[in-house]
């Protein structure tokens, strides 16, 4: 029998999504040893895939990088999700053409897309392209208006109407399997908008919930002393600050750095490491002497497990990793970003992390919060962490149905 051929599109921003995509791919390989997976992704996800030994299709060089549009839309640590989506429209149009070229030039037995909304829309509008089962991965449902601007409210309503279109029309969606990374309680129990369906009811009807996906087993990281020894850390108090895989949030790293000399007055052995991510040059971040800066740390979760406190933006990946690792952390949701507002609500529900607002934060205030949280004992509710196994099992069931 010919090997199963899969096209995996890791299409979201930064690095959080591609780590869970690799975890799912590895689970599929465990179940189907002769599977062949091709990847469609852009920087920085493509860089991590290449370092992991994955195969990226040649057409990826023509794929528009949506990270650029998000970074262009951001103002410091403010990113309005609708504004970014509107700026990305031309990129979506080009990317659907690249996708069409790929799936018409060679045959795939399965296509998986991680938050590839443009691909889902293209398959709905051009069903003749769909000669394969399609799996779509989600981790939020719908947009929220973050201002009182009537144009934003209208734009959000239009996008939410598109999101719920298949459900409203009682039609089969473009995807054969919708996977939601998380739990039903993660989804707001309210409507998409006027005369639109309830989001949680919609999600329960349209998606299958897999829990959370991590590239590690939290049970392997309970011995902090052993982890520190492996990573060659000493016993000094350690802070890790990271902003993820885009260039959005450099200002947060600089405020962390400015808090460092304030903290050193009372915690002289303190060590602070700032992780810029692959899209920011370390020399562009202005920090005081003594603050360490690294551009990219493979397996950052290991360093989270080793630290006494982490400071991150409000993305789901890093905050949930820290929750699973039972670490104290401070997080700054991107202001204007409706998805990260949902993440903050879910973290609050679990009693995880300390939320702060960047526009209201000074180095002195951050130093005060750090002093209160550094090395504190936390006990968050355990969260399901076997999502990659569940996702692969559901994908296997879909393949058996189609074969």
pLDDT, tens digit, 9 for 90 and up, residues 17-53: 899 999 999 999 999 999 999 999 998 899 999 999 9
8 A C-beta contact, residue 69 and residue 84? yes
Q: How many CB atoms lie within 10 A of CB 137?
A: 27
* pLDDT per residue as tens digits for the range 332-353: 998 877 678 889 999 999 999 9
Residue 78 is predicted with a pLDDT of 64
Element (H, E) at 402: helix 387-402
Average pLDDT value for residue range 77-96:
75
pLDDT at 247 over 80: no
Element (H, E) at 332: strand 329-332
How crowded is the C-beta side of 72, counted as CA atoms within 13 Å?
Answer: 11
pLDDT at 81 over 70: no
List the one residue out of 21, 56, 226 whose CA is nearest residue 137. 21
Average pLDDT value for residue range 185-209:
96
What's the mean pLDDT when you consider all of the chain? 91
Which one has a higher pLDDT value, 381 or 247?
A: 381
Listed in sequence order, the residues at least 6 apart from 152 whose beta carbon sits closer than 8 Å to its beta carbon are 80, 82, 145, 146
Confidence of residue 381 (pLDDT cuts 50, 70, 90): very high
Give percent of the chain above pLDDT 90.
72
Average pLDDT value for residue range 85-94:
79
Domains of the chain: 5-213+385-402 (3.40.50.2000), 218-373 (3.40.50.2000)
8 A C-beta contact, residue 141 and residue 202? yes
Rounded CA gap, 307 and 287, in Å? 20
Residue 82 is predicted with a pLDDT of 67
pLDDT at 324 over 90: yes
CA distances from 11 to 43, 77, 317, 329 (A): 10, 22, 15, 28
Residue 368 is predicted with a pLDDT of 98
Sign of CA pseudo-dihedral 341, 347, 351, 357: negative
Average pLDDT value for residue range 246-269:
93
* pLDDT per residue as tens digits for the range 125-168: 999 999 999 999 999 999 888 788 888 888 889 889 989 989 99
Q: How many residues does the chain have?
A: 403
Confidence of residue 101 (pLDDT cuts 50, 70, 90): very high
C-alpha distance across the termini of the chain, in Å: 13
Give the DSSP letter of residue 128: G
In DSSP terms, which residues pair with 56 in a beta bridge? 39
Residue 90 is predicted with a pLDDT of 80
Sign of CA pseudo-dihedral 112, 116, 117, 119: negative
Rounded CA gap, 273 and 173, in Å? 45
Average pLDDT value for residue range 57-81:
76
């Amino acid at each position: 029998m010919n090997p199963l051929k899969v096209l995996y599109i890791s299409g979201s921003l930064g690095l959080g999504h591609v780590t869970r995509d690799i975890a799912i791919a590895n689970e599929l390989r465990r179940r189907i040893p002769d599977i062949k997976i091709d990847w469609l992704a852009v920087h920085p996800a493509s860089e991590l895939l290449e370092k992991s030994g994955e195969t990226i299709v040649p057409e990826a060089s023509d794929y528009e990088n949506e990270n650029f549009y998000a970074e262009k839309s951001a103002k410091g640590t403010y990113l309005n999700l609708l504004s970014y989506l509107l700026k990305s429209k031309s990129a979506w149009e080009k990317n659907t053409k690249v996708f069409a070229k790929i799936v018409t030039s060679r045959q795939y037995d399965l296509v998986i897309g991680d938050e590839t909304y443009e691909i889902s829309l293209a398959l709905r509008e051009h069903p003749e392209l769909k000669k394969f089962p399609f799996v779509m991965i989600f981790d939020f449902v719908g947009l929220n208006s973050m201002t009182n601007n009537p144009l934003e409210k209208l734009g959000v309503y239009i996008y939410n109407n598109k999101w719920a279109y298949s459900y409203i029309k009682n039609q089969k969606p473009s995807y054969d399997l919708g996977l939601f990374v998380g739990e039903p309680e993660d989804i707001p129990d309210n409507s998409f908008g006027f005369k639109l369906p309830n989001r949680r009811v919609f999600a329960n009807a349209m998606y299958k919930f897999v829990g959370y996906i991590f590239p590690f087993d939290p049970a392997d990281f309970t011995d902090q002393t052993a982890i520190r020894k492996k990573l060659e850390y000493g016993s000094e108090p350690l802070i890790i600050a990271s902003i993820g895989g885009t260039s959005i949030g450099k200002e947060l790293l600089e405020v962390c750095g400015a808090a460092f000399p304030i903290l050193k007055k009372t915690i002289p052995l303190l060590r602070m490491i700032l992780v810029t991510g692959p899209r920011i040059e370390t020399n562009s971040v202005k920090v005081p002497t003594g603050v360490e800066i690294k551009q990219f740390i493979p397996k950052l979760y290991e360093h989270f497990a080793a630290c006494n406190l982490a400071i991150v933006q409000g993305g789901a990946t890093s905050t949930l990793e820290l929750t699973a690792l039972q670490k104290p952390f401070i997080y700054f949701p991107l202001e204007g970003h409706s998805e990260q507002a949902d993440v903050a609500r879910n973290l609050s529900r679990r009693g995880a992390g300390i939320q702060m607002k960047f526009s209201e934060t000074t180095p002195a205030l951050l130093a005060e919060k750090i002093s209160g949280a550094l090395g504190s004992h936390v006990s968050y509710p355990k969260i399901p962490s076997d999502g990659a196994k569940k996702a692969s099992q559901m994908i296997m069931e879909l393949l058996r149905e189609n074969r």
